[in-house]
Structure 1
């Protein structure tokens, strides 16, 4: 089943979902399977999106007009797509910069993998700046906390990679910038979550 999601930022009526609706209907979405929000993409409490995600079932495909209609930021998008994929749900973007994304097809999965790599690169840059800032602070007599080596994006990446028979653990650890000990503290050799991994994903 095809399910469509639409969003506009303003609730005062100055923006309309008509363009998005027409595109989604033309792509084959049934009018009864359209969900919408009138809220900023930065808001977490979007009832339309929550209802849309709840309605999706294995084998369904979520369609959005543009990628920015769905997510608050790149990490939020990647986490959302990971959750959809784990449920057996595809994502297809109709237009804009993310128009090549169709996770029901191999090429679309590759494109989203590039997005994931960019998000990880962004995270690493932030981490490097944080470490540089801490080093600078220590040089001035101030102390800071030690950054965690394993992060949620790295853990999700490792989970997917560990499930592939061709994955070499040493190469994976080098790619993620973590030690083998850190990897196995969070995941089993088969990619199953261990207690530390569950804590990282749930935030508990």
Structure 2
């Protein structure tokens, strides 16, 4: 009898891992499953180059073991790569249980009817492919919205330094820069105090001086 391991992922560190971890642990408690450990990453799901996942996949899981994930997209958001990963586990006799797809939770080895087992296995593959397709489509849609949002900010002049948000409001900078004009502080010292990069500081400075010349 193999061991049970969980895996959960969020895209960013701002997202909490707790919900997925709790869901896996609750499932195991309800089933009387002894869960060895849950591995977690906080990284994009568009590829599988994630430190804890790599350890779990390459160093921990062995034939006869079971991997539990809450949803297909917690494993990955790239359809082709996700399906390849699932095939990798299938080829090595490692079972994958996906909590959002109840049919994957049924142990096919317990079915006496080989035809029934084949039908259920086929259903699992179809459902997984559908969920993987949805996961990738949602990711691509979100990426498209983000790109459009960034472009709109750039068009409005609200996006600076090659994609980074403005470090501070320009009106605030003008107030602070008056201290340089009044000899209270050196430019480099103010730049460090405000946490601005050199390029941003001097761009604001140039914009400020242009306004002064135009009498704004």
TM-score, length basis structure 1:
0.49
Higher-Rg structure is: 2
TM-score normalized by the length of structure 2: 0.47
* Structure holding more helix per residue: 2
